[in-house]
C-alpha cells in the first residue's frame, strides 16, 4: 500500500509491480533434452537386471524428471517460494500416506511368499 | 487511488475507476491478481497430487503384496507405445512452456503456434492411448468381468484361454451381465489345471473347511478372495486349499517349477519372461486386478489430458483474439501449470506401469 500511495501522486500504474520472469529458450530446450535422455535411460534400464534396485532406479529417474518439469517448466525455480511450499506439502502427505501404508503391507508380505512352506505358522 | 489517472493504455472509464481491462475490480494491481490466480492453481494442483497419491498408494500396496502378478501382467502393456507417449507429452510440455514465454513477451504468432502444437500433442497422446486401449479391449484385457483373467469372465476363464492373446471375440458384450455361478465353478476347477491334481477330490468334498493348522492361511487369503466380489465359492476354496496341502502344511509345487524356494527367488529378481503357468494358483486369480489398476490410473490421467485439451482450445481462441500480452497472461500461465502437472504424473505412471522389471 505504501508503494501504491507513492504512485498516486504522479498517476497510479496498477501494472507497476508485475515483473514475471521469462525463461530463456536455451533453458527450455536444455530441460527438454534432459527429459528425453532420461526417458531413454529409464527405458533402457529395464533391460538390465539389477534385482530390487530396478524399481528404485526407475523412481529416482522419475523424481529427477519431475523435478526438472516443476523447477523450469512450471517456473518454481524463478517464482515465489510459497508455490514450492504448497507443492512440497502435498508431496509430503502423499509420501506419508504411501510410506506408512507400505510399511504395513510389507510387514505382512512374508505370509504371501509363494512357496512358503509354513504359511500358517509364520505369524 | 481509484480516482487517480491511469497510465495504462488499455484502460477504460468505469465510474471514475480506471484500470486495465484485464484487472478485476477487487485487485489493486496486476501483480496481485496474477499471484492470486497462481496460488489458487497451485492449491488445486496440490489436491490433484493428493488424489493421484491415493491411486499410487493402491498400486504400491497391491504390488507389494503380489509382485509376481505385476511382473507377469505388465508384459501386456506396450512399452514402445508408452515410451512414445512419454516423449509426446514431454514435447507438448515444452511447447506449453514456450507458449507462456511468448505470451509474456507479447509474441502473438509464436503463442498461437505453441498453443496449437501443445493441443496437437494432446491429440497425439490420446490417439496412442486409444490404440492401446483398443488392443486391450479386443484381447479381453478390459476392466471387471470384461477381463479374461477375471473369475467371472464367461469367455473362458480357464488357464489356456487366459494365456492366449486372442480369445474368441464376441463374448465381451454378452457377459457384461455376469456369468452364471455354476459355469464359473466349473471353470475354476480348470483355472489351475496342475496345481492340485492330487487332491481335487478333497477340495470338492470339503469346500469351506481348511485343514487343521491352516486358519491363518485362510484368514490371509480371505480379503484377497473378497476382492473379486462375484467369485464363486469354488474359487475361494481353491485359494485357501492351495497352501494347505500335505501332512505338514507344505504347499504343493505348481507346474513349471517344482522347487518352491527357487520360485521365491525367481519372483523377486524377476528375470526372464514369466508364463501364466508359473504363477501360483492363487495369484492366477489376481492377474485381472493389475488391469483394473492400470485402467483406473491411466484412465483418470487420460481424463485430465482431455480436460487440458479443452482448456488449451479455449486459450487458442483467446490467443487469436489477441487477449494475451506482457500485462496479462495469467490464463496461459496457470493452464500451463495444469498441463505440466499432467505430464508430471505420466512421468511416474510410465515406469511404474510399463517398465516393471
B55-69 pLDDT, tens per residue? 999 999 999 888 889
Nearest residue of A to residue B103, measured between CA atoms = A22
In a domain, A15, yes or no: no
A105 touches chain B (CB under 8 A): yes
In a domain, B301, yes or no: yes
Integer angstrom CA distances of residue B97 from A29, B46, B91, B290: 10, 20, 10, 35
Most confidently modeled range among B66-75, B157-166, B246-255: B66-75
Which domain, by its residues, includes B263?
Answer: 180-274
Q: Is B147 helix (H, G, I), strand (E, B) or coil?
A: strand
pLDDT band at A107 (very low <50, low <70, confident <90, very high): confident
How many C-beta atoms surround the C-beta of residue B173 within 10 A? Answer: 9
CB contact at 8 A, B296 and B97: no
pLDDT band at B150 (very low <50, low <70, confident <90, very high): confident
CA distance B323 to B329: 8
In a domain, B300, yes or no: yes
CA distance B349 to B57: 12
User: Contacts of residue B104 in chain A, CB cutoff 8 Å?
Assistant: 20, 22
User: Contacts of residue A66 in chain B, CB cutoff 8 Å?
Assistant: 344, 347-348
Cβ contact B264–A113 (<8 Å): yes
User: Residue B207: pLDDT above 70?
Assistant: no
**Which CATH number characterizes residue B341's domain?**
1.20.120.80
Overall domain count for chain A? 2
CB contact at 8 A, B153 and B147: yes
Query: Looking at residues A88-115, what average pLDDT do you find?
Result: 83
Q: What is the pTM of this model?
A: 0.71
CA distance B329 to B215: 64
Domain boundary pick from B274, B307, B325: B274
User: Residue A100: pLDDT above 50?
Assistant: yes
Grid coordinates standing for B222? Answer: 480371505
State the residue for C-alpha cell 521365491: B264
CA distance B193 to B284: 11
Grid coordinates standing for A85? Answer: 511450499
**Among partner residues A18, A61, A65, which is closest to B30 by beta-carbon distance?**
A18
Q: Are residues B267 and B209 in the same domain?
A: yes
Grid coordinates standing for B2? Answer: 481509484
B201 touches chain A (CB under 8 A): no
ipTM of the predicted structure?
0.81
A65-89 pLDDT, tens per residue? 999 999 999 999 999 899 999 999 9
Domain boundary pick from B274, B303, B333: B274
Q: Are residues A45 and A62 in the same domain?
A: yes
Domain boundary pick from B211, B239, B274: B274
Burial of B289 (0-12, 13-18, 19+ CB in 10 A): buried
Q: Are residues A28 and A64 in the same domain?
A: yes
In a domain, B57, yes or no: yes
φ/ψ (deg, to 5) at A60: -60, -45
Which domain, by its residues, includes A101?
Answer: 79-109
Query: Looking at residues B344-356, what average pLDDT do you find?
Result: 94
Overall domain count for chain B? 2
Amino acid at each position: 500500500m505504501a508503494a501504491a500511495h507513492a504512485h498516486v501522486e504522479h498517476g497510479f500504474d496498477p501494472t507497476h509491480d508485475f515483473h514475471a520472469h521469462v525463461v530463456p529458450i536455451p533453458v527450455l530446450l536444455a530441460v527438454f533434452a534432459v527429459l528425453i535422455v532420461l526417458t531413454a535411460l529409464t527405458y533402457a534400464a529395464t533391460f538390465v537386471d539389477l534385482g530390487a534396485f530396478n524399481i528404485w532406479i526407475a523412481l529416482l529417474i522419475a523424481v529427477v524428471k519431475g523435478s526438472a518439469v516443476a523447477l523450469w517448466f512450471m517456473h518454481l525455480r524463478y517464482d515465489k517460494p510459497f508455490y514450492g511450499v504448497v507443492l512440497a506439502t502435498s508431496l509430503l502427505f502423499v509420501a506419508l500416506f504411501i510410506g506408512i501404508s507400505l510399511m504395513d503391507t510389507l510387514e505382512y508380505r512374508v505370509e504371501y511368499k509363494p512357496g512358503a512352506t509354513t504359511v500358517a505358522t509364520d505369524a | 487511488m481509484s480516482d487517480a489517472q491511469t497510465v495504462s493504455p488499455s484502460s477504460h472509464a468505469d465510474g471514475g475507476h480506471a484500470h486495465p481491462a484485464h484487472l478485476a475490480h477487487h485487485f489493486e494491481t496486476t501483480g496481485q491478481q496474477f499471484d492470486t490466480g497462481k496460488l489458487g492453481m497451485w492449491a488445486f494442483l496440490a489436491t490433484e497430487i493428493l488424489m493421484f497419491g491415493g491411486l499410487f498408494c493402491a498400486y504400491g500396496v497391491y504390488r507389494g503384496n503380489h509382485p509376481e502378478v505385476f511382473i507377469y501382467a505388465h508384459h501386456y502393456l506396450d512399452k514402445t507405445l508408452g515410451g512414445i507417449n512419454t516423449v509426446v507429452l514431454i514435447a507438448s510440455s515444452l511447447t506449453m512452456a514456450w507458449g507462456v514465454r511468448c505470451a509474456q513477451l507479447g509474441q502473438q504468432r509464436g503463442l498461437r503456434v505453441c498453443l496449437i502444437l501443445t493441443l496437437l500433442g494432446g491429440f497425439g497422446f490420446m490417439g496412442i492411448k486409444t490404440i492401446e486401449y483398443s488392443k486391450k479391449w479386443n484381447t479381453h484385457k478390459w476392466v471387471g468381468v470384461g477381463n479374461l483373467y477375471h473369475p467371472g469372465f464367461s469367455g473362458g476363464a480357464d488357464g489356456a484361454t487366459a494365456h492366449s492373446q486372442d480369445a474368441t471375440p464376441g463374448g465381451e458384450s454378452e457377459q457384461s451381465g455376469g456369468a452364471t455361478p455354476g459355469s464359473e465353478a466349473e471353470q475354476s476347477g480348470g483355472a489351475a489345471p496342475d496345481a492340485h491334481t492330487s487332491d481335487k477330490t478333497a477340495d470338492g468334498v470339503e469346500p469351506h473347511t481348511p485343514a487343521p493348522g491352516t486358519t491363518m492361511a485362510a484368514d490371509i487369503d480371505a480379503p484377497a478372495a473378497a476382492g473379486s466380489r462375484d467369485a464363486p465359492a469354488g474359487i475361494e476354496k481353491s485359494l485357501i486349499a492351495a497352501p494347505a496341502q500335505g501332512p505338514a502344511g507344505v504347499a504343493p509345487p505348481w507346474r513349471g517349477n517344482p522347487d518352491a524356494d527357487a520360485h521365491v527367488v525367481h519372483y523377486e529378481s524377476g528375470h526372464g519372461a514369466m508364463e501364466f503357468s508359473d504363477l501360483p494358483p492363487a495369484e492366477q486369480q489376481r492377474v485381472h486386478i493389475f488391469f483394473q489398476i492400470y485402467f483406473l490410473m491411466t484412465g483418470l490421467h487420460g481424463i485430465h489430458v482431455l480436460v487440458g485439451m479443452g482448456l488449451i482450445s479455449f486459450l487458442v481462441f483467446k490467443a487469436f483474439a489477441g487477449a494475451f500480452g506482457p500485462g496479462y497472461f495469467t490464463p496461459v500461465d496457470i493452464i500451463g501449470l495444469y498441463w505440466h502437472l499432467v505430464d508430471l504424473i505420466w512421468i511416474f505412471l510410465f515406469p511404474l506401469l510399463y517398465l516393471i522389471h
